[in-house]
Structure 1
């Protein structure tokens, strides 16, 4: 591992992001031949293949290990440029967040870093909050907002707060489907809006309200946070939404809460790779984490985080 070629690491990261030699070459302003040569040199240095040349290409296990190193090297390069007062490299900084946080509080948290002096080229990768840490584990991102409370190896973790969820439906939906309310005799025939196949919030809510274990529900999938809210407002089904996101629609009378006394709190944490700054200044990932933490303190519940 001595003297790993950093140009090769840049090529590996570009290949992982773009999924092909052609697009990676365009991103790096190189020829495809140059990208291929740098990758082969890195593979020869390590003595093992790093990329499975398919469509789209995939990284080998060794490639994913090197991808983590590539991401860390890129973040350190951005930090060094900032400390030296040099123009920041045109480098994407990937972090993973859950869709509901992205729709409610993450963008205001990161606005100053993106539009201020840092001018960071953030790449936000969206996944379910129970799975974002997998992106960090395999080196695809440098940090993530996750429900995992324990730090991954080589990473630090800090609590952000609790995002409570509740169940909501439109008044017209309630009049049509649930004039007598939701109960054990009608829940299986009542439509629910589900974000995607990873989403289990509606199942957890029904389990707690009705005491039914692993209920089988009638589902309509809407895999985008804003569209999920809109589908619930339009009467597609019961939606289990963050209270932050549903609040305005409730105040306008577009949604009503089912069992408002029941809240499902989701604890969120910020994970990041531990990278040290030579000057002692806060590294890039620390600044991102601090910005998220500051905004989380303002909008999320903190009592049990």
Structure 2
């Protein structure tokens, strides 16, 4: 007598499960049924584990400085172009106190721009006009460049000492005149996007500025023009200030309208990828140096309190050491 076999149970691959039910799929990883298992994200990282940055500098030969930075599957190319701006061409010359940040900001000497319409992800097809995300990222990068005082305005000045005249006092110190400035155009191209574009873009800016060299420039009084040396040995690197690290966190929660808030579970995910970002309504970006907090940006939600915020700040400052190690290894 033939025996009948039961049909096999319907099963899905993890990739199919993630597409059909993304939120339950992430929850199954963060809240495993086994008490001995620890929360693990689909990528294999723990909730507080970041993707290791990878940096390659000097990738663009036509730029004054360049870098390619990867965070997991997110990759950003950054090139720095330096162009001369004559002081006589400035509509409103800076006449305020000696303040590097204010002078750079008022004269517009740092000009970042980020391009996402490269096919870096399905949501950013080539040829489209810059969207709100690209404009927001550009403005955030510009604001942070000014706030961090990363670039010293003295590195961007082309000075000239006029010859002595009979009217000059014999013991008077020489009066240097600023005849021109270097304007740094910081162009970023996102070639692959898998979440957390700001941290990847800021890392690319740091790496490219660390790689930037400005040619020796001087004012020629006879020609009334700025001349530059083509000798690479005479080029000068930027004297960057304290390097700040940026770290973004996303909050995944089981909170729902029909569930009590105190019954909800929450997980703070460091350096979220694209899959995790789409499932999180709350995000925090912290920018900090070893000694101070430069900026905290918070969007949506209210599950991260003061005590949790202190832990995130400490985590950001520990991330700074990793970025410094990667950047220094590129310039040895």
Query: How high is the TM-score relative to the length of structure 2?
Result: 0.26
Higher helix fraction (1 or 2): 1
Q: Which structure has the larger Rg?
A: 2
Higher strand fraction (1 or 2): 2
Query: How high is the TM-score relative to the length of structure 1?
Result: 0.27
